[in-house]
Amino acid sequence: MIVIQTSSYEELSRKAYELMRPVLIEKPDAVLGLATGSSPIGLYKEMIADYKAGNVSYKKMISINLDEYADLPVEHPESYRSFMNRNLFDHIDIDKANTHVPDGLAADKEAACNEYTAFAAAHPIDVQILGIGANGHIGFNEPGTSFDAHTHLVELKEGTRRDNARFFDNDIDKVPTHAVTLGLADIMQAKMIILIANGTAKAEAVRRMIQGPVDTACPASVLQTHPCVYVVVDEAAGYYVK
Ligand code: F6R
């Protein structure tokens, strides 16, 4: 793991984009593994700015998102499909038909999960963007998830729902109880991983991910066994790993 310390969220976003950019330039048909949440928003702004400057085209690229809430209508402003459209896809030339977000509405969730796993296996991710939960989750692989897991339905931990209540009028009861997520085994197939973490709330999770035992109690610790991971942190999130 290579840890890159930065001194602000803007710098963190720029550094993350500097790491990602060569893949976009060298591989016009790259497969991008994307995340939602607050962490990658600055990176997505960098991607949009460089696209608008005429330096990159996403026309032939494919994206595979990590996760989606279960049983939340896709039109809901906080569905991860809506998030991706609003924060990235609506502003670049990617073909929406090539953007993939797990189907949180499928009646047969297991079949939909298996399809998503098969799709990801057939389209190896060139660069995977990750955030990290305060409890060490990546995607929605909560503590205790097997490192061998593929796409599956999860029950979100109360802490995760509390953290995400900020997107649902600060009302935890409005936060979906379940989500569909790519599994840790799927994420580990990515050729290169860039994990973004900012803010004090992430400091302990970042420490456990980097210095703790490789243990399902901290799902992100599995990244210690991946050959190409960059962890880009601001001062607060990187406090214990200086
Ligand atoms: C989002 C995802 C989650 C988030 C994590 C951090 O697609 O998979 O693992 O990356 O919960 O969320 P933020 O960035 O909002 O702090």
Find out whether 206 and 241 touch, Cβ atoms under 8 Å.
yes
Residue type, 121: A
d(CA 167, CA 78): 7
Find out whether 17 and 51 touch, Cβ atoms under 8 Å.
no
Identify the residue whose C-alpha is closest to ligand 1 atom 12: 37
Identify the residue whose C-alpha is closest to ligand 1 atom 8: 139
Global model pTM greater than 0.85: yes
Catalytic residues: 67, 135, 137, 142
Find out whether 101 and 184 touch, Cβ atoms under 8 Å.
no
**Mean pLDDT per 10-residue section of the chain, whose length is 242 residues:** 97 98 98 97 98 98 98 96 98 98 97 98 98 97 97 94 94 96 98 98 98 98 98 98 90
Query: Residue 198 is encoded by which pair of tokens?
Result: 């900012």
The per-residue pLDDT for 4 is 98
Nearest atom of ligand 1 to the alpha carbon of 164: 15
The per-residue pLDDT for 242 is 86
CA of 6 relative to ligand 1 center, distance in Å: 19
Residue length of the chain: 242
Identify the residue whose C-alpha is closest to ligand 1 atom 1: 36
Query: Residue 1 is encoded by which pair of tokens?
Result: 């793991």
Residues contacting ligand 1 via CB (< 6 Å) = 35-39, 66-67, 131-133, 137-140
Nearest atom of ligand 1 to the alpha carbon of 138: 9
Residue 29: Cβ-neighbour burial (10 angstroms; 0-12, 13-18, 19+):
exposed
The per-residue pLDDT for 226 is 98
d(CA 242, CA 235): 9
Q: Beta partners for 2?
A: 230
**Inter-helix orientation angle 9-26/41-52, to 10°:** 50
